[in-house]
Amino acid sequence: MSVIHAIRSSLKLQIVLIIGGVITVLMMIISLGILVQWRSLIIQQQEENAQSIATAFSIPVLDALIFGEHTRIITGDLLESHINNFRKNVEGIKYISIVNDSQRIIAHSDLSLYNELITDETTVRVSRSESPMSSIFEDNQYGWVLETVVPLQIAGKRWGAAFIGFDAEPTRKKIRDLFYLLFAVTFFVTGSTIGVLYYLIDKIMSSLNDLVHEVDKIDLESDNAPALQPRKDEIGFLIRHFELMKERLVQSKHQLENAQRQIYQAEKLASIGRLASGVAHEVNNPLNGIRFCMYNIQRDISNREQTEQYLLLINEGINHIESVVKKLLGYARQQSRSYEPVDINKALHTVLGLLDYRIKQKKITINLNLDDQIDKIQADPNLMQEMLMNLILNSVDAIEHSGNITIHTLKTGDNKIVISIKDDGIGIPKENLKKIFDPFFTTKETGQGTGLGLSVTYGIVESHGGSIQVSSIPGEETEFSITLPMEEVA
């Protein structure tokens, strides 16, 4: 479950990171767009205000320049006075400069710059503008300024231009505060969105986690419905289909068990058919003896001593027939599966007793090497006999005439039992080794086998938590090895 939980947590993290990353990028783009737009609006507003102030300043300057031109009076002092008064009445002005049409400063808030010639190409070009212009830049002396240039002209007559530098720091501060505000809003909205997203995903994953727990606890033996709350969303749809899937699995399991029981019984009946000749021999011999005894009794009924002797022989023959029939009926009977202590060595002797005639008929030598120290195992006794019957019959059929079958039982150190059945028959071709456990696969002639024996055996071994391996050398030998878990039984 730790691996599943890690995968599930990783999936949740991936979803949050991907969607959260997308939301973050979108919010940053939106915030950047808003910031750029608001910045443009703020600067545009400041520039318009600056140009309005500069235009208002230029009007009395033009009056002074016109007056000076008509009266031939030097207007420098008048302009300086006007600059000083304007700076006192209007806050945020860093400097004011009036430049004539020859690019020479004729008035300035800094008297040391009076009469200097402007040589900077950019400033010269701006001073020749026909309309007010504004720009923001960082000046070495005044810091960040919003400079507005207003042409001094009227009725086609141009006297120069007025430069007014406004303090741009408040504007920069406003833009900076706007940036921090947008950053805080972006951070808050993004964090809140990711938090809500994480909560919703966690709720979904919690529902999936409950569903996974129910899947882990699935018990096809029980008809109990999953303990999940009904929902009307996609998770509820998944839960309902999980419940339907469990119902189908339970139904399929019952159908499979019925099919397995039918296959087991079919193979058992097929094995009985192959045992028929041996059983007939086991029954016919005592019947012939009984018939002989009855004949002799009828010939001399008065011979009491002979009659008693023959009756004892008749009783012994009947007991033998009864024993054979009981074994056959016990093997053929279809019973429900039940687990109980099973002695594998005893089960082997029982099966070998049923096959005794066929073994002797083919002159096969049975070599038993059974571990007397092995404990009983918890298993179905009928299925264990069927498994051993199928494997030993398979070995008997592999030997054409005379040969050896060696049977080993062994207890391993990890509390398991190993059953090995080895014969020196015709063997199994390498290309068939992977197919011998397939249902209905057989290399025998028609009527010699159903092709279900090894498939049924494989199912029996698997149902008891064991494993089966086969190795074969064609023309020399074949060995089946079954490993079964063992539980000690007192």
Helix axes 304-332, 381-398, angle to 10 degrees: 100
Both 330 and 345 in one domain: the answer is no
Residues 288, 376, single domain; the answer is: no
Portion of the chain with pLDDT greater than 90, in percent: 8
Per residue in 155-194, pLDDT (tens digit) is: 778 888 999 999 988 888 988 888 888 888 888 888 888 8
At 481, is the pLDDT very low, low, confident or very high (cuts 50, 70, 90)?
A: very high
Q: Could you give the CA distance from residue 76 to residue 108 in angstroms, rounded to a whole number?
A: 10
CA distance 428 to 418: 22
Identify the band that residue 489 occupies on the pLDDT scale cut at 50, 70 and 90.
Answer: very low
Q: Which of 334, 368, 388 is the last residue of a domain?
A: 334
| Mean predicted confidence (pLDDT) in 41-63 | 88
Are the CB atoms for 129 and 137 separated by under 8 Å?
no
Q: Residue 104: helix, strand or coil by DSSP?
A: strand
Q: Residue 242's domain spans which residues?
A: 218-334
The answer as to whether 416 is a domain residue is yes
445 pLDDT band, cuts 50/70/90, is: low
Q: Is residue 420's pLDDT more than 90?
A: yes
Residue with the larger pLDDT of the pair 11 and 227: 11
Q: Are residues 172 and 82 in the same domain?
A: yes
* Pair 321, 392 in one domain: no
Residues 218-242: tens digit of each pLDDT: 665 555 555 556 666 666 666 677 6
pLDDT over threshold 90, residue 209: no
| Torsional class of 427: left (φ above 0), alpha (ψ -120 to 50), beta (otherwise) | left
What is the predicted pLDDT for the residue at 463? 84
Judge if 329 and 343 occupy the same domain.
no
Q: What contacts 479, CB < 8 A, 6 or more positions away?
A: 420, 421, 422, 423, 470, 471, 472
- The distance of Cα 257 from the centroid of its chain, to the nearest Å, equals 31
Please answer whether residues 396 and 362 qualify as being in contact, where contact means their C-beta atoms are separated by less than 8 angstroms. Answer: yes
CATH number at residue 443: 3.30.565.10
The answer to whether residues 329 and 400 belong to one domain is no
Same domain, 230 and 145: no
Helix (H, G, I), strand (E, B) or coil at 236: helix
Q: Are residues 281 and 319 in the same domain?
A: yes
Last residue of a domain, one of 304, 334, 364: 334
Q: How confident is the model at residue 407 (pLDDT cuts 50, 70, 90)?
A: very high
Last residue of a domain, one of 306, 334, 362: 334
Q: What is the pLDDT of residues 102-144, one digit of tens each?
A: 888 888 888 888 888 888 888 888 888 888 888 888 888 888 9
Q: Which of 22-31, 80-89, 442-451 has the lowest mean pLDDT?
A: 442-451
Residues 6+ apart with CB under 8 A from 100: 106, 159, 160
- Check whether 356 has a pLDDT greater than 70: yes
* 199 in a structural domain: no
